[in-house]
Amino acid sequence: MFDLSGKAVLVTGSTRGIGRAIAEGLIEAGARVVISSEDAADTARVASELRMPGLACDVADDAALACLVDFACAELGGLDILVCNAGITGKAGPFASIDMDAYARVMDVNLRSQVVLCNLALPRIAAGGGGSAILVSSLSGLRGNGRINAYALTKAANAQLARNLAVEWGPQNVRVNAISPGFIATELSAPLLADEAFMQRRMAMTPLRRPGTPQEVAGAALFLASPAGAFVNGHNLVVDGGTLITDGS
């Protein structure tokens, strides 16, 4: 049910953290995966380590995204699965003091890129007989927050984009879902992991009383990409240890 042997996959933002864990999980299940990030050196290094093709891509550049999809199809002989993981957090703070240029950059990288990439990739997936797309959203798109401004806005939109595309592409056997990770222990979250006061407060809000791991998010992606999730479409799968549903007790 979780076998992806012979499947062709593109994962953006796949050189570290959640994106790399997803790529590794899909490779372990038998898929061939194109590795990509904005950093050319990182992309080449991780592609070499995983023995997979790689191409650097700034996802805010429409032409670069088109080249990335063409590259993936040429290297893999088509495309079956797309994972839109690349994203940036932007500068924390309230909307009242937000810098609109920074806001526009977060919107371009986190949301516009997913729209453009899906418009480029989903017709290819449909032409090959169907498959799956997974848009990485976030718990922050499901809860209010006084400091995670544009990022949270884009993540709420990612989940809605998955629902809209699921309706649009379902008749062509292309499933589109979102994943909303909660607090995950990654390189980027290292400063928060080291903040004892923050961790005590944050883990009190999580019934499992621990952060998640990138591999646990990868497991959710494998489910949505594989035959095991073949009747799941337009869903936002929350991977947060129960943070969303708890009353904090």
Give the catalytic positions in this structure.
151
CA atoms of 83 and 214, how far apart (whole Å):
14
> Rounded to an integer, what is the distance from CA 63 to the centroid of its chain?
21
Contact 71, 55 (CB under 8 A): yes
Q: What number of other Cβ atoms are within 10 A of residue 170's Cβ?
A: 14
Helix H or strand E segment including 151 = helix 150-169
Ranges assigned E (strand) in the chain:
8-12, 32-36, 81-84, 131-136, 174-181, 236-239
Q: Give residue 77's region: left, alpha or beta (phi > 0; psi -120 to 50).
A: left
* Residues whose CB falls within 8 Å of the CB of residue 64, separated by 6 or more in sequence, listed in order: 57, 58
* Residues whose CB falls within 8 Å of the CB of residue 202, separated by 6 or more in sequence, listed in order: 183, 192
